[in-house]
Copies of this chain bind each other. A is one copy, B any other.
């Protein structure tokens, strides 16, 4: 942790007081802004900066948090940020890049480095699943991964999947988002040898139960190589995918 060594050295040299040194060292770890304690050291510790889950936070809380992160020059990823809220706060965050499909705002305060850990395929079943697929794709790109999108490839017209399956096979890990009966991950897992991360989506008629049916179906699949994240959790899928890319021992 280079920054802390600098502080200690400056303190030793008498450039900064002990009180200032303590405050500056604290700043390496967290920043307390009253309603929120920002984990400023997370990227250094884990390789991934803290993410802000906007759902359930007020506009003011979101702006406070993002502004504080900007001051610290931390890379910002804010998920589940509704378009209407973004429009209200966008003038305060002019450097932000917003994806309406993904509901994600990113601010690249430090240059994002490309990761060498292979490529991530993001496949979704239907047009209604794009928002979740994009949450995964934008997050993975923000983490420095190469992402390839394959949308509206659901099993109702399975030739739409077959025309892209060879490209999906090239990926090191596959994220599949699907609603209704959630059969896509199992079918994909039968056609590729990479691990498949299944993301249930809350689309479909009554007994789809806002994604519960897809969730249970994915957990119960007889296909091999599928693991599951929470309903609609494209962000979490991207995190798992990123770890897989960085961790495996190679084909």
Contacts and interface: CB of A to CB of B under 8 A. Distances in A.
Interface in A181-217: 181-183, 186-187, 190, 193-197, 200, 202-217
A196 to B, nearest CB: 8
Contact of A248 (B172, B186, B193): B172
Interface string A205-247: 1111111111111111111111111111100110110011111
A232 B213 contact: no
A112 interface: no
B246 A251 contact: yes
Interface stretch (A1-9, A13-21, A42-50, A66-74): A42-50
Contact of A216 (B173, B207, B246): B207
A130 B204 CA distance: 20
B225 A227 contact: no
Contact of A39 (B37, B55, B160): B160
Given A217-B182, A240-B195, A246 B247 contact: no
A190 B42 CA distance: 11
